[in-house]
A and B are shown apart, each in its own frame.
Chain A
Amino acid sequence: MSGTEDYPADLPGHGEEAEPSRAPHRVIGTPPPAEQRTLLGTAVQDSPPPAPRELPSDPPDPVKAKRAERIVAALFILSMLAGIGFIAAYIGLEVNSGGLDAVFRSNLALGVSMSVAFLALGVGAVIWVRSLMPDVELTEERHPLASSEADRAAFKETFEEGADTSQFVKRPLLRRTLIAASIPLGLAPLVLLRDMGPLPGTSLRHTVWRAGLRLTLAGSNQPIKPEDFNTPGSMITVIPQGYQDDDNAIAKAAVIIIKFEPGQLTHPTNMNWTVDNIVAYSKICTHVGCPVALYEQTTHHILCPCHQSTFDATAGATVLFGPAPRPLPQLPMGVDSEGYLIAKHDFYEPVGPSFWERG
């Protein structure tokens, strides 16, 4: 009926034992006798006389134990064979220039043998503990974590004595100058980081697009003429000519061009910047910079797959949904003397995500 133990509001205190449990139940604190500690030498004998054995020797049922022993041994042998299999698979299965099939085979063989090796060991070890080590339940006393008042007082005294003797407290000039000396040294590591990168300056406001620079198709790097890009509903990614190997440039200058039927493009799209109802928008999302490339022909929506910001391609890429704060900047487009699509000017506003100095 008692069941519960005392829970004093403050330690220490030993809990009451309920009924004695079946297993050997001993309180830690009295180590076994010196002559039983053969493993750790007989250098210093400072312990009291021995108590009886703490852990039982064997599990209760010898027949079951023997069976368990055989099972565990079999598992360990399995693990050994799997380990040998791992080494054999490594030596025997090549992957270099074997193609994906060879990689698949090697991965499978190495992986299965490694898995079996580890799992067999694990299962064997668990069966060992559960079936071969006799059941035991020990109790260890906790001691209050707080030190005694005397110890605390002694610490306080030592600390205060040392502080006093060190003159640190009594001589403010020493103290303050020491602190003053450590401040610049403490700041030095931060200062050393300055050359990690250039200052942004105005570089975020400009891209490499300039008057006369041709639009080229990403991948094939070919310039494009309006009469080739003439099917309404077409969309393609373009980059500035000559910059196909310049990721820093592409990261701001990637552009999508979309072909519309006459009359579909409306305000606030700048019609002076279009050619034959082909409009060019920055491909860099104004949210956090993912390429906003998903174009739905039927709804004329440009959707960014990262966070679903949606822009209306017929209406100057105004934002319809999602976390993007501003429309996609429109690239002023024209044609050059040979009929290829070119930029007439850089974007008239910064592309990509908002930043503090953007304004």
Chain B
Amino acid sequence: MPNQKSTDQKMRAPLSWITARRRRPVAGYAVVLLGLLAVGGGYAAVTASGSAASADAPAANQTQIDQGRQIFVQDCSSCHGLDAQGTNTGPSLIGVGSAAVYFQVSTGRMPAKEIEAEMPRKPMTMRYDQMLAVAAYIQSLGGGPTIPTPAMVSTEGADAGLGQELFTENCSQCHNFVGAGGALTYGKYAPALTQSTPRQIYTAMLTGPEAMPVFNDTTITPSEKRDIIAYITKTRSDPNPGGFSLGRIGPVTEGLVGWIGGIGGLILVAMWITARRREHS
């Protein structure tokens, strides 16, 4: 192939090192990489990681209930009705208990911005004390399961082995064997449990949010619930001794890695081994 060497040899002022290399092939990749890092880092910095405080819920008093009612009317009644009796867009909240409010609001699912097949986990929008007030108000309407105390969700002395058995029999069919989540019908899904706090796990079991069934305290006792919480929290924080976890969802990602990384990578090596030696003219 005839050479097309540029014959332009103008005198220029000395260029900075980065400008001098701007036309190298690697420069393109470097720019893309920098862009990705900038966008990714920026996104990570601005997404808040809402973590609910773990203070004790104080005993409800009338001021709190009134405050709760105010917030409820403002933020919730458009879907749930002025007296929490329910409308077309939101179910009745009479009898769901403060535990349900705790779960829905602390995971940011409520107040909902739009109606979807399933409300996703979001950063909490209410303040913690506001949530407790609404919870007290709802509790006052029709009773129901209450927010567990820290002692009730403590995993001190819990039996993670029993927790594994209970979780596998009753939870993993939706949430996957370690709680990595799974598909339900019509766009619903059982969420991953990677961010759930012990109280959120407890209240979810207790109140059966959305499509999740209810596991009340007389079916799965508080002690057993603590065992399940111990299993979930310990397993998700365990290291992966075999390397990267690949999502802990099983052979699907393993197959992808094997084909793309294994066969793909080996094909590249095979091309190198069998490449013809380049002839240098």
A48 within 8 A of B: no
Contact in complex: A236, B212 (CB < 8 Å): no
Q: Across the interface, do A100 and B184 meet the contact criterion of CB distance under 8 Å?
A: no
Q: Do residues A305 and B173 form an inter-chain contact, with CB atoms below 8 A?
A: yes
Interface centre among A135, A230, A233 (most CB of B within 10 A): A233
Residue of B186, B210, B241 near A104 (CB, 8 A) is B241
Interface residues, chain B, CB within 8 Å of chain A?
162, 165-166, 169-170, 173-174, 182, 184-186, 188, 208, 210-216, 218-221, 224, 238-243, 269, 272-273, 275, 277
CB distance A297 to B241 under 8 Å?
no
In contact, B277 and A135 (Cβ under 8 angstroms): yes
Residue of A nearest to B118 (CB): A298
* Known contacts A130-B277, A294-B184: A234-B213 contact under CB 8 Å: yes
Contact status B213-A107, CB under 8 Å: no
Nearest 9 A/B pairs, CB to CB? A228-B218, A235-B213, A103-B241, A293-B173, A104-B241, A296-B211, A219-B166, A234-B214, A218-B169
Give me the interface of A with B, judged by CB distance under 8 Å.
100-101, 103-104, 107-108, 111, 122, 126, 129-130, 135, 217-220, 224, 227-237, 258-259, 291, 293-299, 301, 303, 305, 310
Assess whether B214 is in contact with A100, with CB atoms less than 8 Å apart.
Answer: no
Q: A224-B219, A229-B219 are in contact. Are A294 and B174 (CB under 8 A)?
A: yes
In the bound complex, residues from chain B placing their C-beta under 8 Å from that of A259 are 214
Indicate if the CB atoms of A234 and B185 lie closer than 8 Å: no
A229 to B215, CA, bound (A): 9
B275: chain A residues at CB < 8 Å are 130
Q: What is the distance, in angstroms, from A102's C-beta to the closest C-beta of chain B? A: 9
- Determine the chain B residues whose CB is within 8 A of the CB of A237 once the complex forms: 169-170
Assembled-state Cα–Cα distance A35/B262 (Å): 48
CA distance A220 to B222 in the complex (A): 12
Is the beta-carbon distance between A295 and B213 smaller than 8 angstroms?
yes
Given contacts A259-B214, A299-B186, list 12 more A-B pairs with CB under 8 A: A103-B241, A108-B243, A126-B273, A217-B220, A219-B165, A229-B219, A231-B214, A234-B208, A237-B169, A258-B213, A297-B208, A303-B184
Task: Specify which chain A residues have a CB less than 8 angstroms from the CB of B212 in the assembled complex.
Answer: 297
25 contacts between A and B (CB under 8 A): A100-B241, A104-B241, A126-B272, A129-B273, A130-B273, A135-B277, A219-B165, A219-B224, A228-B216, A229-B218, A230-B218, A233-B208, A234-B208, A234-B214, A234-B216, A236-B170, A236-B215, A237-B169, A291-B173, A294-B173, A297-B210, A298-B210, A301-B185, A305-B173, A305-B174
Residue of B nearest to A293 (CB): B173
| Chain B: CB-nearest residue to A218 | B169
Please, which residues of chain A bring their CB within 8 A of the CB of B186? 299
B116 to chain A, nearest CB (A): 13
Chain B proximity of A43: nearest CB distance (Å): 38
Main secondary structure of the interface of A (DSSP, over half): mixed
Closest-CB distance, A310 to chain B (whole angstroms) = 7
The reply to whether A220 and B224 contact each other, CB–CB distance below 8 Å, is: yes
**Which of A111, A224, A298 has the most chain B CB atoms inside 10 A of its CB?**
A298
A258, closest chain B residue (CB): B213
A233 to B220, CA, bound (A): 14
Measured in the bound complex, the distance between the Cα atoms of B272 and A229 in whole Å is 66
- Nearest Cβ distance between residue A278 and chain B, in whole angstroms? 11
- A104-B188 Cα distance, complex, nearest whole Å: 36
Name the distance in Å between B55's Cβ and chain A's nearest Cβ: 28
Q: CA of A303 to CA of B190 in the docked complex: distance in angstroms?
A: 13
- B218 and A233 contact, CB distance less than 8 A: no
Known: A107-B243, A303-B185. A297 touches B211 (CB 8 A): yes
Q: Are A236 and B208 in contact (CB under 8 A)?
A: no
State the CA gap A299–B184 with chains docked (Å): 11
CA A301 to CA B213, docked complex, whole Å = 11
Inter-chain CA distance A235–B275, complex, in Å, is: 63
- With both beta carbons as reference points, the residue of chain A lying nearest to B217 in the complex is identified as A228
Q: Report the Cα distance A128→B186, complex, angstroms.
A: 59
Give the docked Cα–Cα distance between A236 and B218 (Å): 12
B166 to chain A, nearest CB (A): 4
Complex CA gap A111/B241 in Å reads 11
Q: Are B239 and A100 in contact (CB under 8 A)?
A: yes
Shortest beta-carbon distance, B88 to chain A, in Å?
Answer: 15
Q: How far is the CB of A74 from chain B (nearest CB, A)?
A: 19
The minimal Cβ–Cβ distance linking A245 to chain B, given in whole angstroms, is 12
Interchain CA distance A258-B215 in the complex, whole Å: 11
The answer to whether residues A234 and B219 also contact, given A107-B241, A297-B212, A297-B213 and a CB cut-off of 8 A, is yes
A288 shortest CB reach to chain B, Å: 16
Of B173, B174, B239, most A-chain CB atoms within 10 Å: B173
Q: In the complex, what residues of B have CB within 8 A of residue A232's CB?
A: 214
B231–chain A nearest beta-carbon distance, Å:
11
Say whether A236 contacts B219, CB under 8 Å: yes
Once bound together, how far apart are the Cα atoms of A111 and B243, in whole Å?
Answer: 10
